[in-house]
Every structure is written in C-alpha cells, then in structure tokens.
Structure 1
Amino acid sequence: MKWLQYTLSISLIVISFTPTYHGMEIIGGHEVKPHSKPYMASIQIYDMTIGHYVHNCGGALIERRWVLTAAHCKSSELTRVVLGAHSLKWNEKSQQKLAVKKQHSHSQYNENKHANDIMLVELSSEAKINKYVNLLKLPADKGADVEPGTRCTVAGWGATKPNSNFASDLLQEVDLTVVDRKICNYIYRGNLNITEDMICAGDGQGKESAYKGDSGGPFICKGVYKAIVTAGPDIPNANQPGIYTLLSKKYLAWIAKVIGVQTYNMTAEELY
C-alpha cells in the first residue's frame, strides 16, 4: 500500500527539481548488528586541519585487494580503507587499516550526469579474511535489473541528520523501495537522465534515505549486491528518490577487466 501511495503521490504532484549532491547519509535508519556486514569498508581521507583520518565514503570489499565504490569518492588526499569496523570512533581490534595503492575510476565518469559513477580502490596489501572482514560477492545474474517495488537495504556511516557534516560513529542501515525508471525520469526531467545503468529508490515519505558520507556503499536486494549509492536530494524528499549505479552487465565486465589487468601486471612483475 505504501508503494501505491508513493506512486500516486508522484503522479499527482507537480515536482520542483532539487539539486542532487554527491555524498549520501543514512536518514531514518537504525544501527546494524555489530560486524554483521563484514564486507563494509570505510574509505577515509587525511584531514590536515585536524590531524587525523575522517570518513569520506563507503564501499564494499569484493576481493582481498579491491574495494568497489563510487567514482565521485575519488580524492587527491592521502587515503586509506578501514575494514572490520562497526564503530569509527573506537580503535576496535577487529579493524584492518590499509593504505590505498591506486584509485581506478571509470574513464567515462560524468559528474554532472552521475553517469558511470563507479570506482575500484586497489589496496596496497591484501585484507585478512576472518569473521570481521569478508568479501561481498558480485551478482551472479549478469547484471539483471531490479524490479520496481523491490525492497533493498543500504548501509553506511554517513550522518544521520539532514544538513549534518558529521559521520555516524556506528554503522547504520535503512530499507528502501526501488522506483520505476519512468517515474524517476519524470521527477528529474530536464535535469538528469536515469539510464538503464541506474536505479532509483526511496521510502515515499521522505523519512528514510541513503542521504552524506554513505556514497559508494552497497545497495543490496534480496541478499544480492545490485548497486552503488550515487546521489540524492539535498534534503530527504518524499517525491525525490535517491540514485544508484546498477551493477549492470557492462560494469561487471569493466570490474573484471580492471582487476584482471592489474592482477596480470602484478604477476608479470613478480616473474621478472
């Protein structure tokens, strides 16, 4: 019923466009069971003004040396990835803090259009797999689409209140509903084209949202890793769902190519 109300409200209301932003946060969610999502990664940058690392984006560990995130999370600042965390405030024994070797953003990433907003972060050393740190498998369905009305989950350490610049200490999650592309394109008409490589999702009430600091995090539907948090409205809006980069066939091929090439080069160097 909520989904029907959401659809009707969109079709009946004349919607004014609110600019989207890069950097999302969990609004209206709840704390996850500690270490129940061992694939979650906190991508952090070194803040010179305060003298320590701060959370910038989320991501998912897909291989021992690779974290998948959003291209707009790329930073020229000193960057590291923290795995095995529940609290970012406390130096938990479960945490692994790894330096970043290289950031591989998609060559056709377009910031204004939110197109190809996908990036692989190559770690300087392998993550140690255990009960606190584990891999999130890429979809085995060759990038199949997600049906409108499907309930999916987003997790992250983004701020929990609108207009806040402070990351959440504890990992949060929220459930959202996938919105039909035709409806989403109507909402963003003239400002953004929702392509077949994107999906939209929201709660229809403007109370729950992947919203700052949660960009790049995994969007999981029925237990399957389906998309990456990309963008959303400046303030949670019942009539404006967030945008996610679908792990489509072309992106799965891109991931395989990047990881494959890097693995091949590393092996060749070791041989010589």
Structure 2
Amino acid sequence: MLLLLLLTSAFVLVPWTGAGRIIGGWEVKRHSRPYMAYLIIENGVETSFCGGFLIRPDAVLSAAHCVDIKGKLNITVILGAHNVHGRERSQQKIRVTQWVIHPKYSREDDNNDIVLLKLKPKARINRNVQFISIPRSNEYVRIGTKCKVAGWGLTSETGNRTNVMREVELKVQNGTICQKTFQNYQRQSMICVGDDSSNKASYLGDSGGPLVCKQKAHGIVSYGPEDKLFPEVYTRISYFVPWIREQLRKFALQELPDSLSSD
C-alpha cells in the first residue's frame, strides 16, 4: 500500500492504495506550516518522495511504508520549503542518520505505519522551521472534527504534480466507516478521515504528512482505497506516544559522550 512518488528514468506512479495527494485543496501561504518536512528517499536508481513533520529539532515523524524499501537507502529531509524544487533561502537540507520503524509495522496491512527519523545536524529553529506538538498518550480527536493535511503530492488522479505546498481540510469520521471498507482497520491505532462528498483527499506523494487538528499532529497519512477518495486511514499518533518517547530518549542518549552513555 505504497503512496510514494517514484522517479526512475521516467516518472512512474505506483497504484494508489492509500492516501497521498492533496486533491480539492489550495496552496498554503508561504512558510505557514513550518513543521512540514519533504523526504527524498534514494535507493540506487530510484528516488521516492514522502511527507513528514518535525516534532523536535533532531526528529521527524513519517509513515513506515515510505522507508520500508529493500536495499540501501539514503534519506534527505528538506525543512522550511514552500516550493520544493525552488532555490529558497529558508530551506534546510539535512541527512537522516538513522530511522526506526515501529517493530510491529506490517507491510501487508499497514498496521503500525509509523517511523521516526533522526536528523544530524539538528534543524535550526527559526520562523520558517519549527516543530509541531503531538497529542498525549491515547488523546482522541472527536468524530466530526475538521482537520487539515498539507503536502506536495499529486493534485489529481490523472497525475498532475505540484512543486508548492498545498493543503486540504478533511473531517474525522466514525471508525465504522473505515471498518466496512478496510478489513484490517484498527480503531485504537488508526483514524478514519475523509470528505464524504469524495471531492477532497490526500493522495500519492503526501504519505507521512501530518493530520493537524487544533494545532496538534494527530495523524499520519497512511492509506486509502484503490478506486475512490473516501474514506482514508491515518496512523493515530496518540496510540504510539509511549513508543515515540522511548525512541526520542534513545536519540538523546546517543548524543552523550561515551563515558556517560555507557552502562
């Protein structure tokens, strides 16, 4: 259920079996989403792209399926971007030194679709690059809540691309809707989201981006149906907060001198 954009010698679209582009949305005001990250994932001759978001100067959250690729990967994160293909002074390009996929991530059904990426050097926090808050453990977002999803993914089902960040407003849905559509939908660890009139969605290339509800990142773009835009499934961040905190502590310990960090 990959939602990546793949570039080989030609532009290739993988089948959309999930959420990933911004359809029916709008271009955001420049640098108004300073937590957004653009992931460039290089694997030999192939390059794929995903979204992500900064939660700490040295840590970006994204979807596990973005980096669950065979072979040696080189991952670069671009922060502070509006036009990802433009030369913007605001941009910070940082190599990812390591990433941790959730140990129970399943490629077959996209359960536990979350990855934490470590940045080195750390991001320079300024007006164009900032981190976003995540919810408390098991903090739920109510059904009917209007949330926003931003990204640089496709803007139509026919493959139109965008270089600038776009955003769409989507509503949190009753989990029963996703349970009827997706056999492996898990209420505890996933959020059912979408526009029931089916003219707005995230799409190819937006994978890993945040579902922002009331100024917190509550979800991560994960997957959706192959033949329509509604409903979509997002990873529920609050369910994974203990795991996220544990990985962040490990990141911090790695920064200590050897004499202090050894047990």
- TM range, normalised to the smaller chain? 0.7 to 0.9
In the other structure, the counterpart of 1:5 is none
In the other structure, the counterpart of 2:146 is 151
> Residue 172 of structure 1: which of 166, 169, 180 is its match?
166
> Residue 136 of structure 1: which of 128, 132, 138 is its match?
132
Q: Distance in 2 between matches of 1:203 and 1:34?
A: 25
Gaps of 5+ in 1: 1-18
Cα drift, residue 113 of structure 1:
1.7
Aligned with 1:261: secondary structure? helix
Cα drift, residue 45 of structure 1:
2.2
> Residue 162 of structure 1: which of 157, 162, 166 is its match?
157
Cα drift, residue 82 of structure 1:
0.2
In the other structure, the counterpart of 2:10 is none
Q: Distance in 2 between matches of 1:215 and 1:270?
A: 40
Aligned partners of 2:207 and 2:222 also within 8 Å: yes
**Structure 2 residue 249 is the aligned partner of structure 1 residue 260:** yes
Aligned partners of 1:39 and 1:133 also within 8 Å: yes
Aligned residue pairs, count:
244
In the other structure, the counterpart of 1:113 is 109
> Residue 222 of structure 1: which of 194, 207, 214 is its match?
214
| Percent of paired sites with the same residue | 37
Q: Which amino acid aligns with 2:122?
A: E
In the other structure, the counterpart of 1:93 is 89
Aligned partners of 2:16 and 2:204 also within 8 Å: no
Structure 1 residue ranges, 4+ long, deviating more than 6 angstroms after superposition: none
**Structure 2 residue 238 is the aligned partner of structure 1 residue 248:** yes
Instruction: Return closer, same or farther for 1:235/1:162 CA change in 2, 3 Å cut-off.
Output: farther
Superposition RMSD on alpha carbons, in Å? Answer: 2.1
Structure 1 residues 143-152 or 202-211, which shifts more? Answer: 143-152
Deviations 1:222-251 (A, max 9, x none): 2221111101123443xx3110011124x1
Gaps of 5+ in 2: 1-14
Q: Which amino acid aligns with 1:241?
A: P
Instruction: Return closer, same or farther for 1:225/1:130 CA change in 2, 3 Å cut-off.
Output: same
Q: Which amino acid aligns with 2:62?
A: T
Q: Distance in 2 between matches of 1:60 and 1:40?
A: 5
Structure 1 residues 258-267 or 212-221, which shifts more? Answer: 258-267
Aligned partners of 1:211 and 1:236 also within 8 Å: no
Give the structure-1-normalised TM-score: 0.83
In the other structure, the counterpart of 2:3 is none
Aligned with 1:248: secondary structure? helix
> Residue 65 of structure 1: which of 40, 55, 58 is its match?
58
**Structure 2 residue 44 is the aligned partner of structure 1 residue 24:** no
**Structure 2 residue 211 is the aligned partner of structure 1 residue 186:** no
Structure 1 residues 258-267 or 26-35, which shifts more? Answer: 258-267
